[in-house]
Structure 1
Amino acid sequence: MTIGPGRIALVGLLGLASAMGIGRFAFTPMLPLMQAAGQLSLPQASALAGANYLGYLAGALACTVWTPAPLRAARTGLAAVALLTLGMALTTLYPLWLALRFGAGVASAYVLVGVSAWAVPALAAAGHARRAGLVFAGVGTGIALAGLGGLGAGIAGWAPAPTWALLGAVAAAVALGVHLALPHLAGDAARAAASGRGLGPDGWRLVVCYGAFGFGYIIPATFLPALARQQVADPALFGWVWPAFGAAAALSTLLAARWAGRLAPRRLWALGQGVMALGLALAAGWPTLAGLLACAVCVGGTFMVMTMAAMQEARRSAGERAPRLMAAMTAAFAAGQLAGPFSVGLFGSDPARALALAQWAAAALLAGGAIILWPDLTRSPA
């Protein structure tokens, strides 16, 4: 069954919105609600975030070793995200929360690898490569909608459980819709099997840079709403930080696909890392609500552009081996972001100082990744 580029882009957008906006990042806007309800301490929150990151790493590693058929990975991953998110509403047992968020991380990795490995080459083959911006705008769209849900729940005084249930119901609707819309392609498994070769030196360079990106962005992605809550206690104000992050992420991929189409993917990736490093420096050196909003725009406005550019570069440089390279890059990203929250504790017991130092360290890693990418900008396509 052949589907048009418009449906490919829409299915990809919805899949990534649910998998990443809910399966991966819903905990960020939910954290202030759960803290206000007395359900989590800061160490417990860090461990719960870390469980999701660890699951994401485990899922990406599994995709690297046993490269899944892309469409099957997307379908099963989205169904798992819905069930595991609904589970968060059905229990208050912390060990079960750890297991549920770990599982959601695994499922999200499968969806990202599956959707990227299917949609990016399908759009390119149809002559609509720029519509990849719409696909990756799904992540920012999901983050923004989940953030608005957390904002509305905070203003209305909802308990965490019904908010988790609402997010799970949305994820279930998306999983059903995507399952019905995705084609059943006989060549799906064949393409997955064809990707099981080595990555090569250039592939490993991309893996290292993507891992630095994962560490660099995760501090604001985890703690921005909580940092904003320290500045302004009113959820009607601090609650806008995460929707702003998601809106910037969604718009950035659309603008990048439209206006930066002539840039090589590596150039776009390297420039994005520079802007993200600037945002982290602003948050660390100017820890006010305005500085945090500026950081949200800089980080939110680049992290999906870099993801899109990195997946496009993987497809361009690896060809049939792209699914395996995408999975290896995702695993490196997951390892970097897993280290991020735990690294905060290495910078001392004062939370404000520790977070500021972690942000400076993240900015330095991002700048280093951009420098590594920069010499490859003019390399001729493989």
Structure 2
Amino acid sequence: MPGQLLLAGYLGSGNLGDDAVMLGFSDGIIRAGFEVAILSGAPEETNRNYGFLSYPRRDFKQIELAISRCDAVVFPGGSIFQDVTSVRSVAYYAKVIEMAKKAKKKVFLVGQGVGPLKTFLGRRMALGAFNDADAIAVRDPASLEALKELGYKKAARATADSSFLMPPPPDPVDPEDFSVGGMKVVGIAPRPLDKKTDVVGLFGDFCRLLYQSGSMPVLVTMDRNEDIELAEAISKKQGGKIPDLRRVVTPMQMQQRISRMDSMVAMRLHAGILASMVNIPPLMVSYDPKVTAFAKQLGLGNALSMDTGITGPRLLDAFLQFQKDRERNVKILDKKREEMRKQAEGNIELVVNGMGGR
């Protein structure tokens, strides 16, 4: 019997990828008859942008209240169980699951990316959280292997990222009709890395060479807390002339803007996902196993690796080669997009079945 679900994760925290996960899952589960509330980093903004009842995700008294009012807690996706940035991320989500189970509520982890988990404490807490969940689905086969390698013994299934359940933009635009001064627009979605990796230099050089080759680079900022400063630094390196999409505040708006582009070069996983959903082939640049796994799922060729000393000229060469196959890649996306959506529907089915069906 449908009821109230509390969605948890890195939601409402300024990352359009995590909000795309939230929106995709919400669209599917609401159509199944459930109501949703959100643990959000910015509750008022989440309510204003999306209309969801929201609670502050860092206020444990409010989290306890939200759990008491729901029938189950659902983590709809994202790479939340990882300790690359900090083991505190794993500790926080493990705590929320512990609170839910203490309140005798069901917990579902769906569309999850697992890892990287490098520390003993991170792995231990993550495994404990996974074991406490009532059911688990991961977003790709690599995450399923990581879950098993972690020591998880129960049944789990591979589905797809919940963002694939987002409805299409209301006004799709033929990318062939969109250009700036006769130049095709190429979205570029970098993300900051450690200080040893010169992301600014790499993408600054790439933007310059791309413009010289006859295309217009546009910087796609998927995380307002990290990417806007990075975009400013990249643009500054080229005289402050590279446009960006910093004013885009929802995944729907970003998807609509991407639908008007000719192509996408993305480090950000969900920039690639949003592009693929509107039939814009993404060339993925991998800094993390999740990006490599996504590129493999799409079947458009392997992701370029940041670990191989990639340079601006090498990235341009790879992009131009990628563009030669654009027509073929669009046809592949036509098929893959529907496959991924059907797989993502498994996230909805798992929760519906776990709640006793309809």
Between Structure 1 and Structure 2, which shows a larger proportion of strand residues?
2
TM-score, normalised by the number of residues in structure 2: 0.30
| Larger CA Rg, structure 1 vs 2 | 2
Higher fraction of helix: 1
- TM-score (norm. length: structure 1): 0.29
